Chains A and B, each alone.
Chain A
Amino acid sequence: MLQIPLWKRIVILALVLSGIAFAVPNLFYGRVEAHNDAIVAAERVGFETPEQAVARGGWPDFLPSGLVNLGLDLRGGAHLLAEVHVADVYKARMEALWPEARRALAGKRATIGAVRRAPAPDGELRIQIGTPAAMAEAVAAVRDLANPVVTLTGVGESDLDVTAEGDILIVRLSEAERAATDDRTIQQSLEIIRRRVDEVGTREPTIQRQGADRILIQVPGLGSAAELKALIGTTAKLTFHPVLGRSSEPDPAPGLGRVVYPSVDERGLFYTLDASPVVSGDELVDARPDFDQNGRPAVSFRFNPTGARKFGDYTAANIGQPFAIVLDGEVISAPVIQSHIPGGSGIITGSFTVEESTNLAVLLRAGALPAGMTFLEERTIGPELGADSIEAGRIASVVGLAAVVVFMILSYGLFGVFASVALMVNIAMIFGILSAIGGTLTLPGIAGIVLTIGMAVDANVLVFERIREELKTAKGPARAIGLGYERAMSAIVDANITTFLTAAILFFLGSGPVRGFAVTLMIGIVTSVFTAIWVTRLLVVVWYDRRRPKTITV
Chain B
Amino acid sequence: MAFRLKLVPEKTSIDFFRWQWATFGVSALMVAASVVLVIVMGLNFGIDFKGGTTIRTESSQPLDVGAYRAALSPLDLGDVSITQVFDPTFGPDKQVAQIRIQAQQGAESLTPEAILAVEAALKGADPAVVFAAVESVGPKVSGELLQSAILAVLAAATGILIYIWMRFEWQFAVGAVAALVHDVVVTIGVFALFQLKFDLTIIAALLTILGYSINDTVVVFDRLRENLMKFKTTPLRDVMNLSVNETLSRTVMTSGTTLIALIALLVLGGDVIRGFVFAMTFGVVVGTWSSVFVAKNIVLWLGVKRDWSKPAETPFPGAEQP
Contacts and interface: CB of A to CB of B under 8 A. Distances in A.
Verify that A and B bind, or say they do not. yes
Contact of B214 (A388, A443, A498, A521): A498
B254 A458 contact: yes
B212 interface: yes
Given A385-B132, A447-B280, A376 B108 contact: yes
Interface stretch (B62-70, B120-128, B255-263, B303-311): B255-263
A549 B247 CA distance: 27
A29 interface: no
B268 A509 contact: no
Nearest to B135: A379
Interface string B186-217: 00000000000000110110011011101110
Interface residues of A, number: 77
Given A229-B112, A451-B280, A379 B156 contact: no
A224 B273 contact: no
Contacts of B270: 388-389, 392-393
Nearest to B48: A377
B278 to A, nearest CB: 11
B272 A385 contact: yes
Contacts of B258: 451, 454-455, 458
B189 to A, nearest CB: 21
Nearest to B168: A494
Contacts of A348: none
B204 A444 contact: yes
B268 A392 contact: yes
A225 B152 CA distance: 29
Nearest to A79: B135
B1 interface: yes
Contact of A505 (B5, B89, B155, B200): B155
A318 B261 CA distance: 78
Given A454-B257, A495-B218, A553 B4 contact: yes
B109 interface: yes
Contacts of B215: 455, 458, 495-496, 498-499
A200 B167 CA distance: 55
B228 interface: no
B177 to A, nearest CB: 11
A226 B112 CA distance: 5
Contacts of B155: 505, 509
Contact of A404 (B210, B257, B265): B257
Given A377-B109, A410-B5, A491 B132 contact: no
Interface in B91-124: 108-109, 112, 115-116
B134 interface: yes
A377 B140 CA distance: 9
Given A499-B214, A513-B201, A453 B140 contact: no
A378 B135 contact: yes
A403 to B, nearest CB: 4
A224 B135 CA distance: 10
A444 B257 contact: no
A391 to B, nearest CB: 8
A490 interface: yes
A378 B136 contact: yes
Nearest to A456: B257
Contacts of A388: 89, 270, 272
A403 B264 contact: yes
Interface of B: 1-7, 56, 58, 89, 108-109, 112, 115-116, 130-138, 140-141, 145, 148-149, 151-152, 155-156, 159-160, 163-164, 167, 200-201, 203-204, 207-208, 210-212, 214-216, 218-219, 221-223, 226, 246-247, 249-250, 253-254, 256-262, 264-265, 267-270, 272-273, 276-277, 280
30 contacts: A83-B140, A225-B134, A226-B115, A376-B109, A379-B135, A380-B134, A385-B56, A385-B272, A388-B89, A389-B273, A392-B89, A399-B268, A446-B269, A447-B277, A450-B269, A454-B257, A457-B253, A491-B222, A494-B221, A497-B163, A498-B211, A499-B211, A499-B212, A499-B215, A502-B160, A502-B214, A509-B149, A510-B152, A511-B200, A514-B200
Given A396-B269, A450-B265, A517-B204, 20 more contacts: A374-B108, A377-B109, A377-B136, A377-B137, A381-B132, A381-B133, A382-B132, A389-B270, A392-B272, A401-B261, A403-B260, A446-B273, A451-B212, A453-B261, A454-B261, A458-B250, A465-B249, A495-B219, A498-B160, A505-B156
